[in-house]
Amino acid sequence: MARFDKLTENLARGIARGTSRRSLLAWLGAGMTGAASIPLLPVARAATPPAPEAPHGPHATGAARPAIVSGLEQDPGDRASCDYWRYCAIDGFLCSCCGGSVNTCPPGTEMSPITWIGTCTNPADGRAYVISYNDCCGVSSCGQCLCNRNEGDRPQVRPQSNNDYNWCLGSESSVYNCSVAAVIGVALAEPK
């Protein structure tokens, strides 16, 4: 009977140790930390089914499309082509093929206030520029000029440098339409 009493006493003391005020605070702290990590979880573009990937962004019908060039010597390239220098870290449909431009969303859509960034080299001057990629939201996918380039893409635990999120979650509608690539500045050289 003494063994049973000792076992019961140890069990009761263990429960008392695990249910103190400090223990309760520890559980609350762990719960708050877990809740704060929820935004780090990956988000899929659930609103849009994946489109068949076409080589370097022509229309889905395969019809020839006119080149959209800036005409500026310091900004060379076809803005409707996946090979355009600003699109080095883009993932999505190009707004320049969907009624918008490389910097602006098509009419009827809104630009998401949250963004991912990339660093692309301009072939005209050989300098690296910081590019802000914003999703345009509110209208279903335009389905033209799909471009998926992942140069410098980081894992999803670094969301500011990852292009696989649905960035429309920061706007009124989470429906994705297309993506823009705006130059926000010259990249600083890395220290050697």
91, 116, 153, 167: the catalytic one is 116
* Helices of type H across the chain: 2-18, 21-36
91 is catalytic: no
- Residue 62 backbone zone (phi > 0: left; psi -120 to 50: alpha; other: beta): left
The string of DSSP letters for 75-106 reads S-SBTTSTTSGGGTT-EEEBGGGTTS-SSSPP
CA end-to-end distance (rounded Å), the chain: 74
Q: Which of 91, 135, 153, 167 is the catalytic position?
A: 135
Q: What does the alpha-carbon distance between residue 52 and residue 104 come to, in Å, rounded to a whole number?
A: 25
Using CB atoms within 10 Å of the CB of residue 86, give its burial: 0 to 12 exposed, 13 to 18 middle, 19+ buried.
buried
Which residue is listed with tokens 């994946």?
50
27 in active site: no
Annotated catalytic residues are 116, 135
